[in-house]
Chains A and B, each alone.
Chain A
Amino acid sequence: MDKLPDKSPDRTIRSLHITAFAGSVFALILSVMLILNFLQMKRIDPLNSRTLILLNERLKTNPEDKTLREEIRSLDLLARKAFFTSQWQIRIGGYLLLISGLVVVISLKTTDFIVKISPDEPGRQKLDFWERQSASRKWIAGAGVVMICSALILAFMTDHELGRDLEHALGGAVAAKGEPANANVGSDKANRENRMVELPADVPGMVSDSVTQSADQPSGFAANPVGFPTQAEIRKNFPGFRGPGGIGIDHHKNIPVSWDGKSGKNIIWKTKIPLPGFNSPIVWDDRIFLSGANETRREIYGIDAGKGTILWTTVIDKVPGSPAKAPAVNKETGQAAPGMTTDGRRVYAIFANGDIAALNFEGKIVWVKNLGVPSNHYGHSSSLIMYKDRVIVQYDQRGSAAVMALAGPTGDVIWKTQRAVKVSWASPVLVHTGTRMELILAAEPFIAAYDPENGKELWRTDCINGEVGPSVAYADGRVFSVNEYSKLTAIQLGEQPRILWEDSEYLSDVPSPVATAQYLFLATSYGTVVCYNVLNGEKFWEHEFDQTIYSSPMMAEGRIYLLDKLGVMYIFNASDKFQLIGQPVLGEGTFCTPAFTDGRLYIRGNNNLYCIGK
């Protein structure tokens, strides 16, 4: 500062320095105070004051103690006051600290602008350039060594048990599942395989939470073994009753909304089916499969989807163990009520007498067996459903109810789980709940889910009784069960499934409900359709069609298709407002649920199979 000839800048600088000094001292004091405040608050923690908790405990044992109560109240007030005062202090302190810092910075900066600080005098670095470079090289190498050493020390201090423990835990879990052969359960690929059959139910345009379920790219499916179809293939076709997974949700496009059976409008073809049957059509590629039976004869038909000609008819007879006389059944159930299923390699059908058969696509029998005549007073009607290359049979008969999985290629029983339930006429539903595949069955007295891999029961909820006809609906982690004279129950899945809501105003006898992530559509057999909020059971709307309905509603392209017993299809929007889109008439009575492919709709009437489209 001796360079400065003028006195006044000198004085300015001095005062600036004093300001800066004062500012920094102030900041220092503030910091110390703030730190003390912080430490004190941390120590006493007024909002979780121990004294208050103790006093409250005392008050609990002695609820009439007025002085104690007063003491708590005043102490509580004090604690809260302390908390908020301290907060205020910290906030104000922060601002003051910032301001004082600013004062210091401004005064010092101004000094620097007045007196240019002379940098270190030149040539302070004594070493020659090349020597410095060489020294730097050594120091960099040294830094590298330090890094490696600290990495190794750190690594030495961490234990390396985790990888092995995880392996162990996973290995144990796999072994516990009883499938040591399938050791790659944990791998990505296996995960993808498991997810393959996931069936999220989304309405178009809806922002869904379940989008993660669709996270697998289509390319992942291509890697699957050839023994069973990929998810994409399943969705392209219509492999069983109520579509993929049996939840009544179809994924095809351009589904017709108008036709007329009388004038033949939009009816592509119509084929007479020789034997009666209430099983709904299933479709794979260019084939439609149906079964039909009477007391003496059981047949399976393979039909050309293009022209409607019956390509082959296979008679199922002389099955070992099959009874000589078909069991007595109700007229409205018949001998061929259960829906068929297919895995794209074989088709499977079961009849009221317990005969189950697997046919190839040319109609040749691959295997056939009798599961024992079901003791069922109306007649067996649970549809088959496929999982991977297995066919799953819900065999809830009187006395020895069970669910089993038969190997598709051989018919061998892969697993069989006994069920403590009464007779059921509902069909199994197979869904991916986001974490695993679950096979969900309905029968008095409970809704239960099984692992389709091994038949282990995953959960059960006692919420249904009576002679259960409707299958469950599933969407977005929620299961909906319903039965006449029982109740409608929404179950939220999770570690421990719980009942979300119940209702008993409208109940279904035969038609199964269908659900989306937002709405539940329930059709009763007496013709009322109700749309519920899946979250709370609030009804968005209800509509009376006043017709008997045995067919189950199907959702396709954001619309609900619902057939009544006379063959009138009610098409309405799957939304929170009732909006009828069309009411085309088939001209023939129907019991069955329609099947869908792109641009086409297949309806089995009481005598004929119709193909509807343009």
Chain B
Amino acid sequence: MPTRRVFLQNLIRGGILAGLGLLTGSLVFRSRKGGTCRLNISCNACSKNGSCTLVPAFETRQFVWQLDPSKCIQCGRCATECVHTPSAVKCVHVYAMCGYCDLCGGYFKPDTKTLNTGAENQLCPTSAIKRSFIEDPFFEYTIDENLCIGCGKCVKGCGAFGNGSLQLQIRHHICDNCNECAIARKCPAGAFSRVPATSPYLLKGFGKQPLSGDKTGGPESF
């Protein structure tokens, strides 16, 4: 009975194809909770303006990992858990938020007596922060990302005593964008999430700043 066998086989093939189609379809056309409407049509399906509950489960956008500095508790695991050594998480200085303090909580150890750049005073274990005099009484702090290991010690200091202009962020030119971020798995604060690749940074600022590609509409290159 070869014909019957062939028919049966074709039937199964059709079944598999239909199954795959169903799976794809159910993901593509099913609604997803908590998304933001990208259709920009007033379909009235949403209870709230602009924030829609009927968003397809798929995304044509790409997603990258990023950490939310407002959730970060600077536990130091970014430095150790990343698949990269040194970590793809670096301290980023949001200059627009910086107070240019002489006594910088991110640069100096808390009990520093004399404000000089001696190793005994520096908070950064790799001496990745450069302190330079601008004008009385302001100092500029820049981060050498080649030295930064993403331990977040300076971030903690700046957040506790300063404006919080030092923030940990995943640097996307280093990050491999693993399917599941190894740091996210270990982050105690759950600060890591997948964000759209078009706005890949979650820096927090005071006012309007030319951040996250606000100016260019796309990410800036390093």
Contacts and interface: CB of A to CB of B under 8 A. Distances in A.
Q: Direct A–B touching in the complex (beta carbon < 8 Å)? A: yes
B34 A48 contact: no
Nearest to B54: A217
A213 to B, nearest CB: 9
Contacts of B49: 202-205, 251, 557-558
Nearest to B35: A211
Interface string A51-69: 0000010011001000001
B125 A47 contact: yes
A83 interface: yes
B88 interface: no
B127 to A, nearest CB: 6
Interface stretch (B58-66, B99-107, B112-120, B213-221): B112-120
Contact of B53 (A76, A87, A217, A235): A217
Of B40, B109, B119, B206, most buried by chain A (CB within 10 Å of CB) is: B119
A282 B48 CA distance: 21
A360 B118 CA distance: 77
Nearest to B45: A218
Contact of A215 (B34, B36, B126, B149): B34
A207 B36 contact: yes
B159 interface: no
Contact of B120 (A47, A56, A212): A56
Interface residues of B, number: 28
B126 A251 contact: no
Interface residues of A, number: 40
A251 B48 contact: yes
B50 A202 contact: yes
A536 B206 contact: yes
B48 A538 contact: no
A207 to B, nearest CB: 5
Contact of B118 (A69, A204, A205, A206): A69
Contact of A47 (B36, B47, B149): B149
Contact of B127 (A80, A211, A536): A80
B33 A217 contact: yes
B34 A214 contact: yes
B56 interface: no
Nearest to B42: A253
Interface in B182-211: 206-208
A90 interface: yes
A87 B151 CA distance: 16
A235 B40 CA distance: 22
A314 interface: no
A533 interface: yes
Main secondary structure of the interface of B (DSSP, over half): loop
B85 interface: yes
A200 B34 CA distance: 13
Contacts of B208: 576
A115 to B, nearest CB: 40
Contacts of B113: 63
A265 interface: no
B111 interface: yes
B33 A536 contact: no
A73 B118 contact: yes
A538 B205 CA distance: 12
B51 interface: yes
Contacts of B109: 56
Given A207-B36, A214-B48, A69 B120 contact: yes
Contacts of B50: 202-206, 208
A558 B50 CA distance: 11
B111 A83 contact: no
Nearest to A208: B51
Contact of B126 (A47, A207, A218, A557): A47
A174 interface: no
Interface of B: 33-36, 40, 47-51, 53, 85-86, 109, 111, 113, 118-120, 125-127, 147, 149, 151, 206-208
Given A69-B118, A87-B85, A251-B48, 7 more contacts: A47-B149, A72-B119, A73-B120, A204-B49, A251-B47, A536-B207, A538-B206
11 contacts: A47-B125, A47-B149, A59-B120, A72-B120, A73-B119, A84-B126, A207-B36, A214-B47, A215-B33, A217-B53, A535-B206
Interface of A: 47-48, 56, 59-60, 63, 69, 72-73, 76-77, 80, 83-84, 87, 90, 200, 202-208, 211-212, 214-215, 217-218, 232, 235, 251, 533, 535-536, 538, 557-558, 576
